[in-house]
Structure 1
């Protein structure tokens, strides 16, 4: 009897240790990603004449929002056909070179997470945006897994802290903010309802020169991100909680929205209009 009890206790302890280890490994992957391989072969791309060109990049080395990424690919493909854009979709970082980036009107990070590009590719994207290009990041593109200070400071314009854990997806009223760029807000409703994983940032992007397009009332969601040994993620951003914004980066522009954790966002007409407006705006750089 005692032997059986010891075996049971050891088995239970082993299960607990494995579970904790798995959770810690997952947390590390979310923040840092696993060892990354960088694609360096330059792809062959035939750019049509007289068409806007968009680069849809969907690589992730951290947490992969698989369903949302695939829904995003379909949505951008539909938007491209609707507006007669050329859309180049890839998970391959080889396209991040100065010569090819210069031919795109906008670069889209479709829920990209983790370290994605090598040093030279990062420099190419930085030069592209600073020199007049447009960049659009969706949801996971704004987390803290990218390990690239310039990216967080310039393309996102805010430092990611956490997302709610206790209540993962939460319904919120998304409210339009006044901005001077009429193209960005064309056709957008003043309010709409949407459930999402509302990212919490340490700082409000407004304080870093961002023009907020949509925000939610952060006091009406539960922002608690505490889990296991993490006990300091029980705060939110307050009443003014931006969820979509743009900012000037050199001669270029960066757009970001924290909306888009799962595929349901891509079924929201307002979300698609928001993204379509941003793509149309990129043609006026």
Structure 2
């Protein structure tokens, strides 16, 4: 019996080691909210975990900002800010997050990641913009402006989409816009004009950042095109892979 238990223990350790070695990279999904809380967060977390299982990367999800330490963040290649809102970090956690990015790691912001940390200028530049307002949920034409990115390779130039459509302020002029909203195809609130950004990426402070404003509605997390969009953003943030 003792020998059998020993063999079982070694078998489990070996299995865990194989699983860990099979992971291309590790992703920390963070969905803490200190303001509005989106109903789609559970669907989003589940969908990213499923992507990890299907695409061979590790996923750990938490709403504990205490995970943002130098030692813990060193385990991960990408932090996904999934519909976070409000002030979610203290000073020590902010410093750890900055070091994470400066060490060459990646960040993915989804939907209300731009409705987060309004008093932190570094965060504004990093995520790319701050949320301003949104009209009622509507269907519109999204224009895919750049198809040479893993988050948009698969998308049509004209993408008909239903969502809560964010409008922005304090937009970082260094972001590289991937998708824009055609404001002539829906009723905006204040609007951002003909170059209304809805998804973008950029290199920032040593790291890589991808953001998409999509993903408010639960149904988005069952949409294959959107899931590929998110997966491409995570892959870019983790690997920095772009067409030559």
Superposed CA deviations along residues 11-69 of structure 1, whole A, max 9, x for unmatched, are: xxxxxxxxxxxxxxxxxxxxxxxxxxxxxxxxxxx993452100011110100002x10
Superposed CA deviations along residues 228-249 of structure 1, whole A, max 9, x for unmatched, are: xxxxxxx211122111101111
- Give me the whole-angstrom Cα distance separating, in 2, the residues matched to 1:279 and 1:238: 28
Following superposition, the deviation at residue 216 of structure 1 comes to 1.3
Selected match of 2:137 from 156, 164, 169: 169
Structure 1 contact 219–238 (Cα < 8 Å) conserved: no
Selected match of 1:275 from 219, 230, 244: 230
User: What is the match of residue 160 of structure 1?
Assistant: 131
Selected match of 1:92 from 47, 64, 73: 64
User: What is the match of residue 240 of structure 1?
Assistant: 195
- Give me the whole-angstrom Cα distance separating, in 2, the residues matched to 1:210 and 1:279: 17
Selected match of 1:210 from 159, 175, 199: 175
TM-score by length of 2: 0.84
Relative to structure 1, the CA distance from residue 185 to residue 194 in structure 2 (aligned partners, 3 Å threshold; closer, same or farther) is closer
- Give me the whole-angstrom Cα distance separating, in 1, the residues matched to 2:88 and 2:67: 12
- Give me the whole-angstrom Cα distance separating, in 1, the residues matched to 2:35 and 2:50: 27
- Give me the whole-angstrom Cα distance separating, in 2, the residues matched to 1:130 and 1:182: 22
- Give me the whole-angstrom Cα distance separating, in 2, the residues matched to 1:145 and 1:100: 21
Q: Establish whether residue 64 from structure 1 lines up as the match of residue 64 from structure 2.
A: no
Structure 2, unaligned runs of 5 or more: 1-16
Say which SS state the counterpart of residue 101 (structure 2) adopts. helix
Relative to structure 1, the CA distance from residue 87 to residue 142 in structure 2 (aligned partners, 3 Å threshold; closer, same or farther) is same
Structure 1 contact 112–141 (Cα < 8 Å) conserved: yes
Trace 1:1-285 onto structure 2 (pairs within 5 A): 48-51=20-23, 52-66=25-39, 68-143=40-115, 146-155=118-127, 157-164=128-135, 168-178=136-146, 181-205=148-172, 208-224=173-189, 235-285=190-240
Structure 1, unaligned runs of 5 or more: 1-45, 225-234
Following superposition, the deviation at residue 194 of structure 1 comes to 1.1
Structure 1 contact 113–146 (Cα < 8 Å) conserved: no
Structure 2 contact 209–237 (Cα < 8 Å) conserved: no
- Give me the whole-angstrom Cα distance separating, in 2, the residues matched to 1:203 and 1:94: 28
User: What is the match of residue 11 of structure 1?
Assistant: none
Q: How many residues align?
A: 222
Structure 2 contact 145–177 (Cα < 8 Å) conserved: yes
Following superposition, the deviation at residue 174 of structure 1 comes to 1.4
Relative to structure 1, the CA distance from residue 107 to residue 144 in structure 2 (aligned partners, 3 Å threshold; closer, same or farther) is closer
- Give me the whole-angstrom Cα distance separating, in 1, the residues matched to 2:62 and 2:170: 32
Larger Rg: 1
- Give me the whole-angstrom Cα distance separating, in 2, the residues matched to 1:75 and 1:91: 16
Superposed CA deviations along residues 165-206 of structure 1, whole A, max 9, x for unmatched, are: xxx101111121126x5434332222221111111113555x
Superposed CA RMSD: 2.0
